[in-house]
Structure 1
Amino acid sequence: MWTPPEFCPDSPARIARLIRENPFAVMTSMDDGVPLATHVPVIRRPGPDGPPADEVPVDGSILYGHMARANLHWHSLIRSPSALVVFSGPNGYVSPTTYGVTPAAPTWNYAAVHVTGRVRVIDDAAATLEVIRATVAALERGREPEWDLGPSLGYARRILSGVVAFEIDVLEVRATFKLSQDKPAELRQRVIAEFAASGRGSEAELAALMADVAAASLPH
């Protein structure tokens, strides 16, 4: 992924937070020269003390994921276990009208993390259930009320044969947070205000991210 220096994340925690907040990723791989892609929930593997904190770098960690057994993508992951997992954060189109200056050009603001790793397909019912448990716990965290898998555990075990879980050993992490850092502070604030008021897609979330990154760059 192309990452100009001015768009590099300001901390490893920024990368970890984007992955945690945007777990529905695109996993891509190659099989005999053919590109494959599947949309899957992917989380960082929890440890004995629970999920890793955002301050713990993603590099060198392990990701959990799962897909439908009917999806033949997992077969190719056994043959060719290298994969790229793409996590997409908030994004939005920036119109030149927002800048209020001429000349200007349109652009797109976004945040994304690319994780490259080695996949291990899990062929064990207990281990697969553990991936499901961890995924449910991660996605339910913070919801009111949180759903408890316990009462549905028997049902989960009955349908488990239709699921294939996997682990990804993270080998490389690349991230781009293109948030108007190349613009003067006044223009950046105009973009933030435009996104915050737009009501389109994830632009309000993008405005909040831009404001947070801008604040973090100020001298303390």
Structure 2
Amino acid sequence: MRQNPSFVMTDVGEIRRLIECNPWVTLVSHTESGLVASHYAVLLDDAREDLTIVGHVGKPDDMIHGLGRGELLVVVQGPHGYISPGWYGDGPAVPTWNFVSAHLSGVPELLDTAENLRVLERLVDRFEQPMPHPRGMWAPPNDADFVERLERGTTGFRLTPTRVVGKRKLSQNRPGETVDHIVEMLRAEGPHANPALADEMARARAARSGS
């Protein structure tokens, strides 16, 4: 990511929030055959308070990535979107793209069957709980044989990152009134309406101003 120190995000709580709100990530490995990328949902490890994540890949992605044998890069992408130069006022300006993102790197630990089943169950529950009638992984018509076959088709992992790069580029290098105007434009109807990015910018602006 762009190495601009004014956009660096180092707060563990904020990066945990980013992961929790944006669990669909990109996994990248450098293998003998070249770069490999896959996309999966991950969760924060509920036994830890750091940036350790747990997840799984479907076989044969574990072999394709060489999972557990080398470094894995996990790219977490939060709200992002186009910012028009017209939103900066009458002065000279160029278009840009605002975003929140984090890169977590490390060698993952492979999970045993029991741990993998627990992570798979947590993952299902994470997205089923808001449903009107949540259907858990073990709920009928699924039975134990079905769930165990499902687990055997996956490889679970735990990643405690040894390197973390977080960036939050939300026009924080602009005057407060300019940020407020951009937030307003992102919330208005138009080709670049982006309420999620507007909310993220407003939240960051409030934190900076102490309100």
- After TM superposition, the structure 1 stretch with the greater mean CA deviation from structure 2, 90-99 or 113-122, is 113-122
- 1:193 maps to what in 2? 184
Contact 1:113–1:176 (8 Å) recurs in 2: yes
**Per-residue CA shift, 1:104-145, capped at 9, x if unaligned?**
1100000001111111233x3322212211222333455544
Determine the C-alpha separation between the residues in 1 that align with 2:50 and 2:61.
Answer: 31
The answer to whether the Cα contact below 8 Å between 1:45 and 1:63 also exists between their aligned partners in 2 is yes
2:130 pairs with 1:139: no
**Given residue 185 of structure 1, which amino acid in structure 2 is its aligned partner?**
G
Taking structure 2 as the reference length, the TM-score comes to: 0.87
Report the number of matched residues: 208
Q: Which residue of 1 aligns with 2:194?
A: 203
- Tell me, yes or no, if the aligned pair for 2:87 and 2:185 is still in contact at 8 Å: yes
CA spacing shift, 1:29–1:63, aligned 2, 3 Å: same
Give the stretch that moved more between structures: 96-105 or 197-206. 197-206
Instruction: Quote how far apart the aligned CAs of 1:198 are.
Output: 4.0
Letter in 2 for 1:64: V
Q: Which amino acid aligns with 1:66?
A: H
- Specify the SS of the correspondent of 2:122: helix
CA contact (8 A) 1:81 1:120 kept: no
Residues 18/153 of structure 1: CA separation in 2 closer, same or farther (3 Å cut): farther
What is the RMSD computed on CA atoms of the aligned residues? 2.4
CA distance in 2, matches of 1:191, 1:198: 13
Q: What secondary structure does 1:2 align onto?
A: coil
Q: Please state how far the C-alpha of 1:88 moved relative to its aligned partner.
A: 0.1
CA distance 1:94–1:210, change in 2 (3 Å): same
Please state if 1:69 is matched with 2:67.
Answer: no
Q: Which residue in 2 is equivalent to 1:15?
A: 15
The residue that corresponds to 2:31 in the other structure is 31
- Where structure 1 has 5 or more consecutive residues not aligned to the other structure, the ranges are none
* In structure 1, C-alpha distance between the alignment counterparts of 2:3 and 2:67, rounded to whole Å: 28
Q: Does 1:127 align with 2:118?
A: no
Aligned amino acid, residue 125 of structure 1: T
- Cα distance change of structure 1 residues 168 and 219 upon mapping to structure 2, 3 Å threshold: closer
Whole-Å Cα distance in 2 between the matches of residues 133 and 114 of structure 1? 26
Unaligned runs of 5+ in 2: none
Cα 1:129–1:115 change in 2 (3 A) is same
Aligned counterparts of 1:72 and 1:135: Cα–Cα separation in 2? 18
Contact 2:187 2:195 (8 Å CA) reproduced: yes
Query: Higher relative contact order at CA 8 Å, sep ≥6: structure 1 or structure 2?
Result: 1
**2: CA distance, partners of 1:16 / 1:74:** 28
1:9 and 1:135 mapped to 2: Cα distance? 26
Task: Give the whole-Å Cα distance in 2 for the aligned partners of 1:39 and 1:158.
Answer: 22
Q: Give the 3-state SS of the residue equivalent to 1:170 in structure 2.
A: coil
Match of 1:177 in 2: 168
Q: What's the % identity of the aligned pairs?
A: 29
Amino acid at match of 2:173: D
- Which residue pairs with 1:5 in the alignment? 5
Offset at residue 76 of structure 1 (A): 1.5
TM-score, length-scaled by structure 1: 0.84
1:4–1:188: structure 2 CA closer, same or farther, 3 Å change rule? same
State the secondary structure of the residue aligned to 2:108.
Answer: strand
- 2:99 pairs, out of 104, 110, 113, with 110
Seen in structure 2, the aligned counterparts of structure 1 residues 116 and 201 have a Cα distance that, compared at 3 Å, is: farther
1:46 equivalenced with 2:46 (yes/no): yes
Amino acid at match of 1:2: R
Q: For residues 168-204 of structure 1, what are the alpha-carbon distances to aligned partners after superposition, in whole Å with 9 as ceiling and x for unaligned?
A: 1221221101000011112111111111124768821
Report the CA distance shift for 1:141/1:210 in structure 2 as closer, same or farther (over 3 A): farther
